[in-house]
Structure 1
Amino acid sequence: MVESGPPGYLIHDDADLVGVAVRDLEPGDVEGGYLRKPESVRVRLNHPVPLGHKLALTDIAEGADVIEYGQRVGTATADIKKGDYVHVHNVRSARWHNSVA
């Protein structure tokens, strides 16, 4: 069943690969919205996503950049499927990442 009412997550930029939950979300279909566009986006969540945390809007391959705010915010440390919870278990922050592994 699809939620109705306000969006469950927000997308900051057209280039973003993740959205941010605006409330605690449970697995299943959830509608989200862009900050600067009227379109909505439906994603089937595979896991619970807590308020303020990220969810994948598309598949993200291990080693690929994770984009939020139109910027690289991290690197996927495992394959991430559309609808997955995106957090420290599958992303390494770009803030702490340096070119020397």
Structure 2
Amino acid sequence: MIHAVLHESEDTVGVAVVEGIKAGVELNAWIMDDDKLVTIVARQEIPIGHKVALKDMAVGDTVYKYGIDIGQVVAPIKAGEHAHVHNVKTKRW
């Protein structure tokens, strides 16, 4: 089962594509450009359509989704955690 998708292997977050992801669930994330799977354990509940961190990120790191810079980390994020407005902000303002 595919739980999350990302475009490029360099992406730092994937998008949850199923409902009911709970902490402790082993997630299969499909890298579309490489057509391969990576596995990560969810540390938190991840709502469908939301981002899950694929690697540990520190404050100031750039977040990549679909191969694009989507923002900056404003609170540390561990691999498997929910990446959202509480820990990622746009660089536009």
Q: How does the TM-score come out when normalised to structure 2?
A: 0.90
- Aligned partner of 1:36 in structure 2 is 33
User: Which one has the largest radius of gyration?
Assistant: 1
Secondary structure of the structure 2 residue equivalent to 1:58: coil
- Aligned partner of 1:49 in structure 2 is 46
Structure 2: how far apart are the matches of 1:14 and 1:44? 17
Are 2:74 and 1:77 equivalent residues in the alignment? yes
Structure 2: how far apart are the matches of 1:71 and 1:81? 20
Letter in 1 for 2:79: K
Secondary structure of the structure 1 residue equivalent to 2:71: strand
- Aligned partner of 1:88 in structure 2 is 85
Instruction: Give how far 1:11 is off.
Output: 1.1
Structure 2: how far apart are the matches of 1:70 and 1:42? 19
Instruction: Give how far 1:8 is off.
Output: 0.3
Asked if the contact 2:8–2:34 (Cα under 8 Å) also holds between the matched residues in 1, the reply is no
Letter in 1 for 2:52: L
Instruction: Give how far 1:90 is off.
Output: 0.4
Q: How many residues align?
A: 91
CA RMSD, 1 decimal = 1.1
**Consecutive unaligned residues in structure 1, runs of 5 or more:** 1-5
Are 2:20 and 1:27 equivalent residues in the alignment? no
Structure 2: how far apart are the matches of 1:73 and 1:32? 19
Q: How does the TM-score come out when normalised to structure 1?
A: 0.83
- Percentage of matched positions with identical amino acids: 34
Secondary structure of the structure 2 residue equivalent to 1:75: strand
